[in-house]
Amino acid sequence: MSKLRIAMIGCGRIGEMYKEVFKTIGEQVEVAYAVDTKPERAEEFSESFPDCKAVTDYRECLDKHIDVFHIATPHHLHAPIAIDAMKHKINVLTEKPMAIELKDAEEMIKVSEEEKVKLGVIFQTRYVKGCMELKKLIEQGKLGKIVSARSYLSWSRTEDYYKGSDWKGTWDKEGGGVLIDQAIHSIDRVQWLIGDKVEWVEGNISTRYHKFIDVEDSSEALIKFNNGCLYHLFACNYYAYDAPIEIEIVGEKGKVGLKQDLAWVELEGQEHYEITDGYDGLSVGPDYWGCSHITQIKDYYNSIENDTPVYIDGKEGIKALEIIKGIYSSSKKGEKIYF
Ligand SMILES: NC(=O)c1ccc[n+]([C@@H]2O[C@H](COP(=O)([O-])OP(=O)(O)OC[C@H]3O[C@@H](n4cnc5c(N)ncnc54)[C@H](O)[C@@H]3O)[C@@H](O)[C@H]2O)c1
């Protein structure tokens, strides 16, 4: 099998993690281009790979027989770069959120179908083994009818974190705050575990403490699914540290949950147990990034090599974004948003 030729678009903080992934699966990929508008970042990235070219404009890679664009730029650039790449028949695996506007995410899905290329969206925390096990238990009906869910995220994003970035904390470039950037993973996991469509969303956002940002630093919301399940979420990023995310899914026959990536199960008539069988992962960067990027990236490459469906494709990737945009809209209008 020949190697996939890839281009890394955006070589910032998360770029470090991608670099380690590509080094680890070097037998599967040839890193042909490192792209960053800051030339020193592209250079630094490219130095880790033989024959990797550093460039400052992704358009230089469009007609160079590239198989995959990995997009890890500021949020507002995901959609335009992805659409341009897909129109050049290049597969795209983009970081979350896939876009900051739903119409752009929908356009990405449409273009991927028209051009017959594979669009994937990074939601690596689904790939945590314990989380996959919970999904299986729910699909097997072990919890019975799902009635309730909750997720609680209290993390720390300081003034220095925001001041060190030229796009975080802004509506036009980040597209929101704690919801679209940090809580998006838990929202994605909960909606995926519940496994049904959303009926309505009602929520609030506010900037309670981080007065130096335009976007929200906290949010609470209630999301009703068609199967009747009520999902309550809370998220803030003014806490003292990155406390483990808590997720709980309650069914008529038991409940399951996650504390960060540690899964637990409590079924009727059974002892409480935890799923601690570790990761396939690679631990680079802060703990809250998790260790599953490598698993998702390998899975995505397999779907290209075997021409099979992408597990988290555009239609999956848009679901958490729809909930988040629903909460923004509900908060602004002061009413429930029906889907
Ligand atoms: N999945 C996760 O757990 C996770 C964790 C961290 C970050 N992320 C995501 O990764 C992405 C990048 O985040 P980050 O923290 O690395 O940000 P960052 O600001 O550190 O890096 C972004 C990089 O993109 C570059 N860039 C800007 N415009 C560009 C363009 N037109 N072409 C090429 N490069 C361009 C910037 O110069 C910068 O180096 C975001 O989507 C973020 O949400 C995901």
pLDDT digits (tens, 9 = 90+) for 183-206: 999 999 999 999 999 999 999 999
Of 69, 89, 123, the last residue of a domain is 123
Cα gap 268→106, rounded to integer Å? 41
Whether 233 and 334 map to the same domain: the answer is: yes
For residue 162, give the 3-state DSSP assignment.
helix
pLDDT digits (tens, 9 = 90+) for 25-57: 989 999 999 999 999 999 999 999 999 999 999
Whether 59 and 100 map to the same domain: the answer is: yes
Does 41 contact ligand 1 (Cβ within 6 A)? yes
> Which residue owns the Cα nearest ligand 1 atom 2?
289
Q: Is residue 219 part of a domain?
A: yes
Does 96 contact ligand 1 (Cβ within 6 A)? yes
CA 42 to ligand 1 center in whole angstroms: 12
Q: Is residue 295 part of a domain?
A: no
Does 12 contact ligand 1 (Cβ within 6 A)? yes
CA 285 to ligand 1 center in whole angstroms: 14
Whether 55 and 147 map to the same domain: the answer is: no
Whether 319 and 331 map to the same domain: the answer is: yes
What total number of domains does the chain contain?
Answer: 2
CA 239 to ligand 1 center in whole angstroms: 23
Q: Is residue 305 part of a domain?
A: no
Does 35 contact ligand 1 (Cβ within 6 A)? yes
Whether 109 and 150 map to the same domain: the answer is: no
- pLDDT over 70 at 174, yes or no: yes
CA 204 to ligand 1 center in whole angstroms: 27
Of 100, 123, 146, the last residue of a domain is 123
Whether 260 and 153 map to the same domain: the answer is: yes
Residue 79 is part of which domain span?
A: 4-123
For the domain that residue 185 is a member of, what is the CATH number?
Answer: 3.30.360.10
Prediction pTM value: 0.96
DSSP 194-250: HTS-EEEEEEEEE-SS-TT-SS-SEEEEEEEETTS-EEEEEEESBSSS-PPPEEEEE
Whether 69 and 92 map to the same domain: the answer is: yes
Whether 161 and 263 map to the same domain: the answer is: yes
DSSP 49-66: STTPEEES-GGGGTTS--
Cα gap 175→85, rounded to integer Å? 22
Q: Is residue 38 part of a domain?
A: yes
> Which residue owns the Cα nearest ligand 1 atom 31?
37
> Which residue owns the Cα nearest ligand 1 atom 15?
13
Whether 271 and 200 map to the same domain: the answer is: yes
Q: Is residue 142 part of a domain?
A: yes
The answer for 176, left when phi > 0, alpha when psi is -120 to 50, beta otherwise, is: left
Does 182 contact ligand 1 (Cβ within 6 A)? no
Tell me what pLDDT residue 282 has.
61
For the domain that residue 14 is a member of, what is the CATH number?
Answer: 3.40.50.720
Does 73 contact ligand 1 (Cβ within 6 A)? yes
The mean pLDDT value of the chain amounts to 95
pLDDT digits (tens, 9 = 90+) for 283-336: 656 666 666 899 999 999 999 999 999 999 999 999 999 999 999 999 999 999
Of 64, 91, 123, the last residue of a domain is 123
pLDDT digits (tens, 9 = 90+) for 127-173: 988 999 999 999 999 999 999 999 999 999 999 999 999 999 999 99
